[in-house]
Structures are given as structure tokens and as C-alpha cells.
Amino acid sequence: MSFTIRNFHPSDMSMIYKICLLTGDSGKDATDLYSDPELLGHYYAAPYAIFEPELCFIVTNDGKPCGYILGTKDSDGFAENCEKKWFPELRNRYKLPDENDTSRDAAIIRKIHEGQLVKHEVKNYPAHLHIDLLPETQGQGMGRKLIEVFVNKLKEFNASALHLEVGKRNEGAIKFYEKVGFHEICEYEYSIAFGMKL
């Protein structure tokens, strides 16, 4: 295996969607949980690569994408961009589900209709990120390297701080974030917000 980190290229997009799904159940494969395999990527991955490609980095294994880090330097600006240029088309395509619909698809479609909400607890951490590596790429230091590359790029943009949210069930990722320099900002019912001042 030969891992490389490089900048995003538009041809990575279908693998970004796949990686997002293959790690979408608290770090595990979510393929069986969604009837529409693109939904997770529509919300958690693709718009970042499109609107802020300079903050999207891809890990490749022998040339093939096997992980990514992506995010935004300014969560409020990103939310506005998504409102103008990303969610309208998706809201046409995915109608708001019936309130009795408890499926995972319905949960993401509701998020698409809500938009990217920036919670007040993380307002002092304007940047945010998502990081996902396929299983064969995990545990070999690539996650730490991706965080370094991402943080260095944020510093070039003079971002003051960054945050992320992780599900409480994802114990491995929680340990990872603590190891690579994040501190807990607050706890929600099912997730924890972590932050890093730059």
C-alpha cells in the first residue's frame, strides 16, 4: 500500500460519495441503512468539495481515493452558500417526508430542508470539518496527517478556530480527536462537539 495526500480533483466526487456512505454509520458501513446511497454525501461531503475545494484533501492508495478531509473556513458563509446554490435543487428532488417516517433517508432529507445550522455553542469556532477513511486506510497515521494539512491550510486563511461534531457511538473517532489536539466544547444528546483554537 502506498498512501499519498493530494488536493481535491473533480474526478474524486463519486468516491467521496462512496466513502461517505461506507463510513456513515458512526464510522462503519451505512450501505444497508439507506435506500438512497447518495443522501449522506449530499449533506455531509459533496458541497464542501464544491464550494471550498482548497480545503478538500484526498488520501489515495496506489492512486485510488480511499479517504478525505473536507470542510469550511467559515461555517456561516458555507451555510449561506448551501442555501443559495446547493439545497434548493435537492429540496425539489427530495420532498419533505411524512412526520411518521422514521427512516434514515427521511432524517437526512429533513436536514437538507433545515439547511446547515450553526449551533450557538460552536460560534467561536468558525471553521468545521469532516474526515473519513476507508477501513484499509485507518490506523496508519493518515488521519493525523490529514488534520495537519487541513489545519495548516486554515491558518493560511487566518481562521481563528475550528470545530466538528462526532456521534457518541463513534468511540474510536472520539479517541482520535482527543489524540490529535481537539478539546470538548459541549455534549449534546447523541453527539459531542470538539474544538481547536488555531
Ligand X SMILES: CC(C)(COP(=O)(O)OP(=O)(O)OC[C@H]1O[C@@H](n2cnc3c(N)ncnc32)[C@H](O)[C@@H]1OP(=O)(O)O)[C@@H](O)C(=O)NCCC(=O)NCCS
Verify binding: residue 133, ligand X, rule CB under 6 A.
Answer: yes
Cell numbers linked to 36? 438512497
The residues, ordered by sequence, that sit 6+ positions from 56 with a Cβ below 8 Å of its Cβ are: 7, 8, 48, 49, 68, 69, 70
Verify binding: residue 10, ligand X, rule CB under 6 A.
Answer: no
Q: Kindly report the number of other CB atoms within 10 A of residue 120's CB atom.
A: 7
Member of 15, 25, 27, 70 binding ligand X (CB under 6 A):
27
Member of 25, 143, 182, 195 binding ligand X (CB under 6 A):
143
Binding mask of the shown chain, residues 77 to 106, with x at each position contacting ligand X by CB under 6 A = ------------------------------
From 70-78, 85-93, 121-129, 175-183, span contacting ligand X (CB under 6 A):
175-183
Q: Write out the DSSP string of 129-179.
A: EEEEE-GGGTTSSHHHHHHHHHHHHHHHTT--EEEEEEETT-HHHHHHHHH
Verify binding: residue 144, ligand X, rule CB under 6 A.
Answer: yes
Which residues of the chain form contacts with ligand X (CB under 6 A)?
A: 23, 27, 131-133, 138-144, 166, 170, 172-173, 175-176, 179-180
